[in-house]
Amino acid sequence: MLDSIINKKNISISHIVLGIGFFLFLANCTTENKHAEGKELAKTNCASCHMYPDPQILPRRVWGEKVLPNMGLLMGMSHGPIYTYGDTESNTNLKPTIAQEDWDKIVHYYINESESSIPKYLIEDQGYTNVFEPHIFSLDSLPLITMTTYNEKSGSLFLGNGSSSTLLTLDTNGEILNSEELDSPPIKIVFKDSLDYILTIGNLNPSDEAKGKLKIGNNVIEELIRPVDFLIYDINLDGYDDVFVCSYGNNIGDFSLFENLRNGTYKKRVIHPISGAIKVEITNMDDDDENEIVVLFAQEHELIMIWDYENNSFIGKKAVQFQPAFGFVDFQLRDMNGDGLKDIIIGNGDNSDLSTVLKNFHGVRVLLNKGDKEFSEDYFLPIHGVSRIRAEDFDLDGDTDILTVSNFGDFSNSQFKSVQFLSNEGELKFEPKYIHRLPDFRWQTLDVSDYDKDGDLDVFLGSFNLNVGPEESDISNKKDISWVKLENKTK
């Protein structure tokens, strides 16, 4: 009798345990199914605007507090499963692009599949190079240098002062020769023939206001949406220079051609109507006899487009694309392996928007040209917060070196170097070195020129010591530096 009761109890307990286990199994399956659905929904909906972002690229807190709420509003959502969007009255005009249930699944997927932190890369100790001797200059208490350009013809250095919207003309010893007030900070200046081309951004902060201008001699192209680059090129071979303009914007922007109408005016032709256009180059990227137009797009697009120009038409192809937190900032086109094709050296490190944490995928990459506008990544060096790169034979040993500067660096780590000289050792191997006696600072602009005409390339750096980005990038307690001349001592 007792044995029978014990057996019945065991059977009952077994049933209970089995039931709980089956419930947990079902719950786990339901969660896994929800996450799988969220992943597929993210690939369908998020990737319709940019490359699909893996949850592992950002910490959970950043997804939940910054990125997902921002994306939700852009997709017309009034709330998510873990947050709401401020005043409900301001959300009455939202136009949802997906169902609320689907958006909830996307949010759950990113929150549950991301980690509490992303790993940092190991910053290794470096030796220093004597290729450059630094000469350091200070101009004001808040150095925001928006442009650094050396004019070999006049022997003058031109600096854009973002804090006062002035264009400064200096000699190479640091003496200010002229100061011109502009209506917004100058971003780029080019001297061609008898004309000065001066680009002003309108607003340094993220903005969709059309307040940028390109002054061409006595003429002006106005109502540009936060422009950051331009290129002068007679695309239609009519003997008059046209201008390509990168309007970075914020949520809106474009890459456009301004066709010279020969009477001091220009006709705008939008080539690609998306924000984030940051740099344009024209060169021959394949084995034909024609040049191609290469454009870098940042923001969430993070891609490089290449256009052919035929019969007054632009035929574009996406060459490479990365995930939206990549932070594209700069690129160079050089033949890095001697096969006669221009390869792409890219720098990524922008870190001042929603996801302001140090990222282990920031750095310098070499993408080898495989032909037909196809590229493969064959070199990567992680460097926090890269802001500009230049690829040149700085040490005159016959190969192309890479110079990188960083704005959003890890200044909490004494081993981090904000300027790195990547000495080319052959076969896509580079030895990183720092510049002896150059303080670590926040650098944003860079220009290369043989200012002393001794046969090697010198460098001009501009600082941007504004306390934005990751907390590790704050150096507001350091001595102010405005610009630096790196004198090349190779010759």
User: Which residue from 362, 297, 323, 301 is spatially nearest to 53, judged by alpha carbons?
Assistant: 323
Q: Classify the C-alpha dihedral 58-62-67-68 as positive or negative.
A: positive
Amino acid at 191: F
Report whether 373 contacts 306 (CB < 8 A).
Answer: yes
Q: Cα–Cα distance between 349 and 326 in angstroms, integer? A: 7
Structure tokens at 20: 């709980």
Q: Classify the C-alpha dihedral 436-438-439-441 as positive or negative.
A: negative
For residue 104, give every residue at least 6 positions away whose Cβ sits within 8 Å of its Cβ, in sequence order, or none. 80, 81
The radius of gyration of the chain from alpha carbons, rounded to an integer in Å, stands at 27
Predicted pLDDT of residue 2: 31
Q: What is the DSSP letter of 64?
A: I
Report the C-alpha dihedral over residues 430, 436, 439, 440, rounded to 10 degrees: 20
pLDDT tens, residue order, the chain (491 aa): 333 333 333 334 334 333 333 333 334 445 566 678 999 999 998 888 889 999 999 999 999 999 998 888 888 887 788 777 655 555 667 888 999 999 999 999 999 999 999 998 999 899 999 999 999 999 876 689 999 999 999 999 999 999 999 999 999 999 999 999 999 999 999 999 999 999 999 999 999 999 999 999 999 999 999 999 999 999 999 999 999 999 999 999 999 999 999 999 999 999 999 999 999 999 999 988 899 999 999 999 999 999 999 999 999 999 999 999 999 999 999 999 999 999 999 999 999 988 999 999 999 999 999 999 999 999 999 999 999 999 999 999 999 999 999 999 999 999 999 999 999 999 999 999 999 999 999 999 999 999 999 999 999 999 998 899 999 999 988 878 999 999 999 99
pTM recorded for the entire structure: 0.91
Strand pairing report for 195-200 and 186-192: antiparallel
Amino acid at 467: N
The top-level CATH class assigned to 128-488 is mainly beta
Q: What are phi and psi of 437, to 5 degrees?
A: 70, 15
Report whether 163 contacts 142 (CB < 8 A).
Answer: yes
Number of helices and strands in the chain (H, E): 4, 31
Residue spans of the domains in the chain: they are 13-85+96-113, 128-488
As to burial, measured by CB atoms within 10 angstroms (0-12 exposed, 13-18 middle, 19+ buried), residue 176 is exposed
CB atoms inside a 10 Å sphere around CB 69: 21
Element (H, E) at 220: strand 219-224
Report whether 76 contacts 96 (CB < 8 A).
Answer: yes
Q: 3-class DSSP state for residue 186?
A: strand
Report whether 109 contacts 38 (CB < 8 A).
Answer: yes
As to burial, measured by CB atoms within 10 angstroms (0-12 exposed, 13-18 middle, 19+ buried), residue 452 is middle
**Residue pointed to by tokens 């949850």:** 55
